[in-house]
Structure 1
């Protein structure tokens, strides 16, 4: 038998992300009006938003900044003890930053940087969402009633981070946070070009994609979930009707098997609206590896993603270098 190491089970789920935007008013209108999210708090240069199906207070912090990109990622632990365990493990590494008093809606957090330069925090204490009277649903086991605005996204589904070294980053998340590698795309020599990682039973909660620019800390995209594949098509029409550039029209991914549409929100960050995907129940799931030859076949139905999908991220390197 092979040596068995008990997996880390401290991270409960991806809780929230902070996106930075140089066009805060237009970005807010995108997330509120076109995605159908609800504002729960505005303070200083930031706005906090939630999807109608979120089981937490919010999943998106939108912050005004000079350029688009990722502010930080928040992950919730299963318990105070789990938080202490992760913090102590990270303190002993070169990645730790230190404790914070927390942000709106959650208690103390431990912050650190991943090897690619993304700022991450873990926390446990969190304010519960109290449904206002005008949003109370007909079924008491729902967080709030259905949003009839725009694409009507339910919740944050996953994120994709750019990295100049996918192998190093995917190993970091497995070693320090307990993520498991569900799928990977590799080169002819076996180096990862994309890693799909999960802590829940979804096929992935986070993807890490190769950034060939070699830059640190760039953001690829955030994905928000809708209830059905047909609603992905509806989202595409919402974007079309409102002049939002569609980078990749509705199609189906091979890895994860999600239906998707990709756009750029007005600030410049790539956003995905998605539906579906498979679940992982078995504890001994074996990582699925996609070869370069298999990846050449494109998406599930044969067509490829646009070239920009593999090069564009925020901050936009080309725009920054030209002073745009």
Structure 2
């Protein structure tokens, strides 16, 4: 069912690191991520803003870029362990016939721009400037007190092939979603918790969401309350709820440009090699939430396209139970 994992990959990715988003109104987006999500501004200029979580020492985990290509994602970032891993990554992508280009990126060391086989835009770096952690400076807390970036979820037109590619790079599966023998979703990781990259089969490449860990479960509700206060009540898209896979409490919010951010309260550990991935049946409601209603249709099908990437349609689009179909069935019964 799952592709084999290369436990000695060609280069060493360590974790999800940062995401770069295009936005239409930098001030508006900045306010959303500071006042509601609770990130802190590390640095800003006329058309760019660097933010990080309260417990993050690295310069940024979210970069907002004012652009005419608003609502698109420039890149998702991963850290590699050593500088030499960047050179190995360059050699790997070139040998695969995939894009690989050295670029200058502020506040990072050497940076490599690459794309996976479906066109997902990725940024690799081994270093980043550091700043003091602020997790003990309670007077600076705002919003939902986001602590650190945790993972991304992407759409790929073929979940199995995408999972196979990242398995070659050393990503392991904590859980996976299947319908019969067909792989629909893979929940993959490099750090010692269950998720750095989730892959769902759908038209792609697209960024479905990126996620931040919050320190307390009540911070998720605080984020919802503040979304309502600041005019984003209808952008509390899914939750609060508890995931079937993983068991984390969560909520999904949409920012001013429609980018989706998840707030969640942490994961279990997956360090040990003997731990087997957990299979989830796509036909089971428990894959949605442990309790509560299904997600609305837009949660399943809307996502941020990657800037400059061609959208590839999948012939086997998922047909999940949505909030709309659930309500329709209830009305038909009555």
TM-score exceeds 0.5: yes
Conservation of the 8 A alpha-carbon contact between 1:105 and 1:126: yes
Residue of structure 1 in register with 2:322 after alignment: none
Q: What's the C-alpha RMSD, in Å, of the aligned pairs?
A: 2.3
2:70 counterpart of 1:42? no
Distance apart, 1:266 and its partner CA: 0.6
Distance apart, 1:195 and its partner CA: 1.0
Distance apart, 1:5 and its partner CA: 5.7
Conservation of the 8 A alpha-carbon contact between 2:281 and 2:287: no
Residue of structure 1 in register with 2:199 after alignment: 208
**Distance in 1 (alpha carbons) for counterparts of 2:114 and 2:278:** 29
**Structure 1 gap ranges (5+):** 139-143, 317-324
Residue of structure 1 in register with 2:227 after alignment: 239
The normalised TM-score by structure 2 is 0.83
Q: Residue 284 of structure 2 aligns to a residue in which SS?
A: helix
> Which has the higher mean CA deviation after the structures are superposed, 267-276 or 286-295?
286-295
After superposition, the Cα gap between the structure-2 partners of 1:218 and 1:279, relative to the gap in structure 1 and judged at 3 Å, is: same
**Structure 2 gap ranges (5+):** 307-334
Match of 2:130 among 128, 131, 145: 128
Conservation of the 8 A alpha-carbon contact between 1:254 and 1:300: yes
After superposition, the Cα gap between the structure-2 partners of 1:95 and 1:15, relative to the gap in structure 1 and judged at 3 Å, is: same
Residue of structure 1 in register with 2:205 after alignment: 217
Residue of structure 2 in register with 1:33 after alignment: 35
Q: Residue 231 of structure 1 aligns to a residue in which SS?
A: helix
Q: Residue 227 of structure 1 aligns to a residue in which SS?
A: coil
Conservation of the 8 A alpha-carbon contact between 1:246 and 1:262: yes
**Distance in 2 (alpha carbons) for counterparts of 1:232 and 1:67:** 27
Residue of structure 2 in register with 1:15 after alignment: 17
Figure out how many residues of one structure are paired with residues of the other and give that number.
299
Distance apart, 1:119 and its partner CA: 0.9
2:152 counterpart of 1:149? no
After superposition, the Cα gap between the structure-2 partners of 1:200 and 1:297, relative to the gap in structure 1 and judged at 3 Å, is: closer
Within-5 A mapping of 1:55-204: 55-65=57-67, 66-101=69-104, 103-130=105-132, 147-175=140-168, 177-188=169-180, 190-204=181-195
Conservation of the 8 A alpha-carbon contact between 1:233 and 1:250: yes
Write the deviation string for residues 163-220 of structure 1: whole angstroms up to 9, x where unpaired: 1111111111121x321111111122x2222110100111111111122xx3x33220
2:331 counterpart of 1:305? no
Distance apart, 1:226 and its partner CA: 0.5
